[in-house]
Amino acid sequence: MIADEDSTLESNSAVSLGLIVTELLTNAIKYAFPVAKADARVRISFEQHADDWKLSVADNGVGMGSTATPPNPGGLGTAIVAALIKQLGARLTEQSTATGVTVSIERSTFVSSPRKAA
């Protein structure tokens, strides 16, 4: 786990992030390594700058949709994570290859306000 020591989050957001981490970590443990792997790893990272933050959970397993992990698009876990992300005003990106899955959840409050040319 990589964390910025000075980070602070509202307790509601911290609880939601905790639930999300638990679900994603459980998924990695359940599905990423159907066959034991000596260098199996799950990396959890959290970065925060002011009100913006990014959480990532990455494994080096078999990836989604491999024959060993039949797809289950209607999983309750996916639905709960989606609801929590909506509540947090964040967005999810998922990358899945044959060398692992990375799920990132990002909240960005930055709003661009371009100036008009003179």
Ligand X SMILES: Nc1ncnc2c1ncn2[C@@H]1O[C@H](COP(=O)(O)OP(=O)(O)OP(=O)(O)O)[C@@H](O)[C@H]1O
Helix, strand, coil percentages, rounded to 5, for the chain: 30, 30, 40
Cβ distance 19 to 84 under 8 Å? Answer: yes
* Strand order from edge to edge, sheet including 91-97: 2-3, 42-49, 52-59, 100-107, 91-97
Return residues touching ligand X (CB under 6 A).
27-28, 30-32, 59, 61, 63-64, 69-72, 75-78, 101
Residue ranges with strand state E in the chain: 2-3, 42-49, 52-59, 91-97, 100-107
Shortest Cβ distance from residue 85 to ligand X (Å)? 13
**In sequence order, what are the residues at sequence separation of 6 or more whose Cβ sits closer than 8 angstroms to the Cβ of residue 29?**
42
Partner in contact with 42, chosen from Mg ion, ligand X, none, beta carbon below 5 to 8 Å by kind:
none
53-92 footprint of Mg ion as x/- string (CB under 5 A): ------------------------x---------------
CB of 38 vs ligand X, minimal distance in Å: 18
- Shortest Å, Cβ 86 to ligand X: 16
Q: Which does 101 bind (CB under 5 to 8 A by kind): ligand X, Mg ion, none?
A: ligand X
Contact residues toward Mg ion (CB under 5 A) are 27, 77
